[in-house]
A and B are shown apart, each in its own frame.
Chain A
Amino acid sequence: MDLRLFSGRSNPQLAQGICRYLGIEMGRIEVSDFSDGEIFVQIQENIRGKDVFLVQSTCHPVNQNLMELLIMADACRRASAARLTAVMPYFGYGRQDRKDRPRVPITAKLVADLITAAGIQRVLAMDLHAGQIQGYFNIPVDHLFAAPRPHRLLPAAAVSGSHRRVARRRGRGARARFCQASGRGVGHYR
């Protein structure tokens, strides 16, 4: 089964970086807007029987990026992709994860239902605001942490002194993680 990766319009640069790591070409897809604001998608290659990954962060504009992912998924499902995985580096609406006040929605659960209904069979997410969001899906969710090897990922400036302290914001979803500062610009974990 071949692997194919397609990017929505939310974070094409990251999708390009993933393709470079995998040593594959980015999948050819047309994603455009009609003048009335509707989104149009066409997969421009044969994906029948392929293992398809859709990369889309549901960041600002959240609703547009979410809908775009759903439409891309529908196109892939109808094009007979063998398996459809949504790669969601940032999972929007993740903070609306419980009824913390009366008469409010649990939008993270609604988004999980929409994603599943669109035909996505698997989700790859990173640092979900609440780990329990995995349970909002009835499909497999792989949950990554942005700092897999924290001892190698600290800013040089911060570890130079002997007095260090990790402060953790106490609140829902807050959890400790840290990243590497490797000079200016974009660095990589390895």
Chain B
Amino acid sequence: MERARAFAKRLGAGLGIIDKRRESDKKNVAKVMHIIGDVAGRDVLIVDDIVDTAGTLVEATEALLRAGARRVFAGVTHPVLSGQAMQRLAASHLQELVVTDTIPLRDKAVCWPHLRVLSVAHLLGEAIKRIHCNESVSSLFI
């Protein structure tokens, strides 16, 4: 939450929260309950660490659109994208999903043209260089 607030501040954007409840007995099944914050008429960015089956992401997208969001984008670091993820994304109203190359996409990217991949090679390379030279790694983020 602290980090989300910092992001919103740096972006000059408002902060919204999607309250997600997971059904306890089902492992990968997500259920979006409700949206906290006003999204009507706005562009929304969903940020998360992992997109696995894309169930959460797609349900969140549809919930945001129902709440009046103009367009929904998403940025997720790790594209696990297992099971029906690509089919779900292809059938969703998500404008764009930006992921990184921490996990190779292999042939998944062709299924859906709105998937963008950014490389973290430079960031990891810089961290490795700093570790090797006994320099600060945390200062990368200041």
Contact = CB atoms under 8 A, between A and B. Distances in A.
B96 A155 contact: yes
Contacts of B44: 165-167
A11 B115 CA distance: 19
Nearest to A175: B3
A177 B6 CA distance: 10
A144 B120 CA distance: 10
B7 A148 contact: no
A122 B4 CA distance: 28
Given A14-B120, A146-B120, A169 B98 contact: no
A190 interface: yes
Contact of B98 (A55, A87, A155, A171): A155
Given A168-B4, A170-B20, A127 B49 contact: yes
Contacts of A5: 128
Interface in A20-53: 20-22, 51, 53
Contacts, number: 262
Nearest to B19: A170
Contact of B11 (A3, A19, A166): A166
Contacts of A181: 96, 98, 116, 118
A10 B47 CA distance: 25
A178 B64 CA distance: 18
Contacts of B18: 167-170
Interface of B is mostly: mixed
Contact-size category for B: 35 or more
B91 interface: no
Interface string B119-136: 111111111110110000
B91 to A, nearest CB: 20
B45 A164 contact: yes
Interface in B1-58: 1, 3-8, 10-20, 22, 24, 35-37, 39, 41-50, 56
A189 B124 contact: no
A179 B98 contact: yes
A166 B12 CA distance: 10
Given A127-B77, A178-B98, A186-B117, A165 B14 contact: yes
Contact of B49 (A57, A129, A167): A129
Contact of B125 (A10, A22, A101): A22
B95 to A, nearest CB: 7
Contacts of A16: 121
A173 B82 CA distance: 19
Contacts of B22: 171
Nearest to A174: B48
23 contacts: A16-B121, A21-B124, A85-B131, A89-B120, A101-B24, A127-B78, A128-B49, A144-B120, A144-B140, A164-B12, A165-B14, A165-B16, A167-B37, A167-B39, A168-B16, A169-B48, A170-B36, A176-B8, A178-B11, A179-B77, A179-B99, A187-B117, A190-B122
